[in-house]
Structure 1
């Protein structure tokens, strides 16, 4: 019996060593087109969660099977996949991804490409905002644009969220909530026309509703956010908190096209609380009054005796 246990233990160790021997340690350096080391590159074994990243010198070391494939990925560069095979040293040269630099962005009164633009601009396509449930389109920007913070304090239709670009501009804690919202609110420009806001008027004068709630997200072609001094240079002091440029869809050809957008759903009818009306209500009040022993208790009742001549209570 002891020999069987010993044989089983040795067989398990052999299987473990065999599986461990299948992995090999791969090292290498990741450079860019100018042969400069690139740090922070993600090195992942394809199809697994086994991965690492390059250091400041672009070096990496990872243990992987010989038949595995390494995936090298980094922001701004094209992703590369390399099979390991029998190699133990794999050096990679990443190529810059120039496709994003050719995207057309709007900077004030003209259009340009990201490659030629020197300002800090974040963009989002209207396709990413279409057919999403929200009280207004600005609530859809939450978590979708870098540097844009959207806080929804109310889900009411027409409610106005607090939108700030690159943080709040109000550092004085003595300001009221409305004043902070005014000091941090960006300038909205729709098709080249700056939009006014009720945030700048005195309390009780404006409508108190979000004027952007009437803008249909399905009508938006693109949204560009100007986040640095270039916005102030174009629109002046009103753009000190950034500018949100909204471009709506326009006709692209002469062929007629009909688009239908429909929504269907089921709503459950709410169950209301049972109430007593008419003569039943009056009798209940009379019973409460008759149960009291003295005038003080009757006087302290939270309601008065219903008029018996009122047709709303004697039916």
Structure 2
């Protein structure tokens, strides 16, 4: 079977359709459909079926897509075996991160990788809803993603997605410096019942944490604004337009804002690196991933550990 056609089948599944897969693979939808049709003829069984105006994999198609992952991993390991004879891994690695994660992790990552020589890291910021992070791995080698602490693991079996934990970042309550609560060492959820909140959009991890904080007093938070850019949120808090939940390691730099830990509520988010299993076999990717783990350990105050063997 054609390895490229198997890759196309995998991508149609992970992207949820032909059009999205075509965009990721830099093909036309027609070319994607032709590859799927040829693969179905070779397999001797229907691999896709129509659902409304869209397309989804049949049970046979899903089974073949799982097998395609094994094929891609085997090819990746074969390439890594050859690359291991080089003096050092070389190449380009694409890394994406959500905005505050990018601010925290990408500058020191670039500094560390530059010192290695031979590796180019191409960075992008990707601030998407929580469930959309895994699909980014089809076009980005290493995806730095975040999820609420205590939430379910990332969707997709370990055979489809490699997850490397990076750090836990506490979320604190941000209040204006002249707020009545600003002099406290910490606050409780009950202290915030009458506050006006600046929240992120629904579907994003911090929104889930805010809902959990509000569950304590049993009242819904009064959300006045929804802003995803934490630098904008911090400016609005400093100007007295509400309170918010902000990440401890990247926020609170404005003199007009005070960050207060929450007592009685474990408010935080988990930051993970997501990779496709075959991508994780590339030596140059594993080298960058090791540096990313080291950067995250320094940021979060945790012991440094290598990531190259994670999930293997």
TM-score normalised over the length of structure 2: 0.21
TM-score normalised over the length of structure 1: 0.21
Relative contact order (alpha carbons < 8 A, sep ≥ 6): 1 or 2 greater? Answer: 2
Q: Would you tell me which structure has more helix in proportion to its own residues? A: 2
Q: Which of the two has higher C-alpha Rg? A: 1
